[in-house]
Amino acid sequence: FLTLLTGCNSLDYTEDHEQLSEEERIIIRFSHIVGENTPKGLAARKFAKIVKERSNGFVEVQVFPNGFLYKDGEEISALKKGDIQMIAPATSKMTNEVPEWQVMDLPFAFRDVEDVHTYLSGSIGRNLLAQFEPKGFYPLGVWDNGFKQITNESHPLIKTSDFKDLKFRVMPSPIIASQFEILGANVQSNSFNEVYQLLGNGRIDGQENTFSNIHSKNLQSLQSHLTVSNHGYLGYVVLMNNSFWNDLPKDIQILLHETMVEVSKWEIKIAEELNENNFQSLENCDCIAIHHLSVDQKKQWEDAFKPLYQQFENRFGSDYIKTLPKYEG
C-alpha cells in the first residue's frame, strides 16, 4: 500500500495518515542524551521533520533529547531490547559492543573530519560498520560532533607532565582511559549528564569534550582552563534496532536511508559551524583561559601517545591503523 514514486521525494498515500493511531502508523522512538541546540540534537529534529513530511505522517520519528527517556549508558541496552528504535551514541560508547571501534579514539588519528569520513567510507570503515549488525544494531549513518578539547580547573594543561595525578571523566572506551593514564592521570567513566555536577563538587578535576558539548553544558562556568588540543574525534553512529529495521517495508527503508544521507551531509556542516560558534563564545566570555599548543608542544603530546597505537595493534592487528588516511597520505 505504499508506493515509492520514482523521481519524486515523497511517498504517495491515499489516506491522511495523520488521522491514524500510533498502532496504525510506524513510530520510531529516537532517544539521545544531548541538548537540542547541538549537532546531534538539531540533526535528530531535522531527520524527524523530513521523514514525517515525506511519508505524509505515516512514519513518525519521536525525538527524546537530554537523556529524558534513557540515560547515557542505558540507551544502548534499551535499543538492543527494542524498547526504543533509534539512538546516536558516540562511537566511543559502542566500543563495548565492537571493541575495534576504539581505533576512532586513538589520539591524533585524524587530522580533520574529512579524514574521518574518508576512513569510514573505505573498506575498513565499512567493515567496522558491518560489525554492528550481528550485535543487533543497524547502522544508518555517521554524524560528526567534532574534535575534543581538554578542560581543567587548577592549572593550564600544556606539557604532558601537567596531567600528572589529575582525575578526568572519560567516555567508556579503554583507549581513552589509557590516553590519560599514560600521562600519569586518573580517569573515571561517567555519563555525560553527570559531568557538570562532578566538576562542581570537585570529584573530578577535568574532562575532554568538543566545544559544542562544553558550551551546551556550561562547563566553562566550572573550569578555569581550556586547552585547544583537537586530540581526538567525537562522532556518532546512528543506529536502529536491527530486527525493527528488517521488519520495515522496503520503501520505508529506502525513505529512511535517503533522508539519512541528506541529513548527514547537512549535519556535518552544522557540526562544524556550531563548534566554531561555541569556540568564539568561549573565547569572548572572559570566563575560561584558552590555551593553544605550539607545534613542539603538540609533538610532545603525539610522542607520548605513540604507545597507544602499539597497544591497539597488539589487540586488533595493524590493518585498522595502517589504513588511517594520515599514514596513506
Q: Which is nearer to ligand LMR, 222 or 248 (CB)?
A: 222
Q: How far is the CB of 148 from ligand LMR (least distance, A)?
A: 8
Which amino acid would we find at residue 149?
Q
User: Which cell goes with 287?
Assistant: 570566563
Q: How far is the CB of 287 from ligand LMR (least distance, A)?
A: 20
Q: Which of 28, 34, 76, 226 binds ligand LMR (CB under 6 A)?
A: 34
Binding mask 249-288 for ligand LMR (x = CB under 6 A): ----------------------------------------
**Separation between Cα atoms, residue 121 and residue 261, nearest integer Å:** 13
Sheet holding 149-152: strands in order across? 186-189, 167-170, 206-209, 149-152, 225-228, 289-292
> Which residue in 39, 205, 223, 22 sits closest to 113, CA to CA?
39
Beta-carbon count within 10 A of 137 CB: 25
Q: How far is the CB of 20 from ligand LMR (least distance, A)?
A: 33
Q: Which is nearer to ligand LMR, 33 or 252 (CB)?
A: 33
User: Alpha helices of the chain — where are they, by DSSP H?
Assistant: 39-54, 75-81, 113-121, 123-130, 174-181, 195-200, 211-216, 242-247, 250-284, 295-316, 319-322, 325-328
Which residue matches cell numbers 599514514? 327
Which residue matches cell numbers 596531567? 163
Q: Which is nearer to ligand LMR, 193 or 300 (CB)?
A: 193
Q: How far is the CB of 34 from ligand LMR (least distance, A)?
A: 5
The verdict on 209 binding ligand LMR (CB under 6 A) reads: yes
Q: How far is the CB of 39 from ligand LMR (least distance, A)?
A: 8
Q: How far is the CB of 155 from ligand LMR (least distance, A)?
A: 23
Report the site for ligand LMR in 155-194 (rule: CB under 6 A).
171, 192
- Cα–Cα distances (Å) from 249 to 31, 59, 89, 121, 199, in that order, read 22, 11, 25, 26, 47
Q: Which of 55, 95, 145, 264 binds ligand LMR (CB under 6 A)?
A: 145
Q: Which is nearer to ligand LMR, 145 or 178 (CB)?
A: 145
Q: Which is nearer to ligand LMR, 34 or 86 (CB)?
A: 34
Report the site for ligand LMR in 65-124 (rule: CB under 6 A).
72, 90
Q: Which is nearer to ligand LMR, 26 or 271 (CB)?
A: 271
Q: Which is nearer to ligand LMR, 60 or 144 (CB)?
A: 144
| DSSP codes of every residue in 12-70 | E-SS-GGGS-TTTSEEEEEE-SS-SSSHHHHHHHHHHHHHHHHTTTSEEEEEE-TTSSS
Q: How far is the CB of 150 from ligand LMR (least distance, A)?
A: 12
- Contact residues toward ligand LMR (CB under 6 A) are 33-34, 72, 90, 145, 171, 192, 209, 213
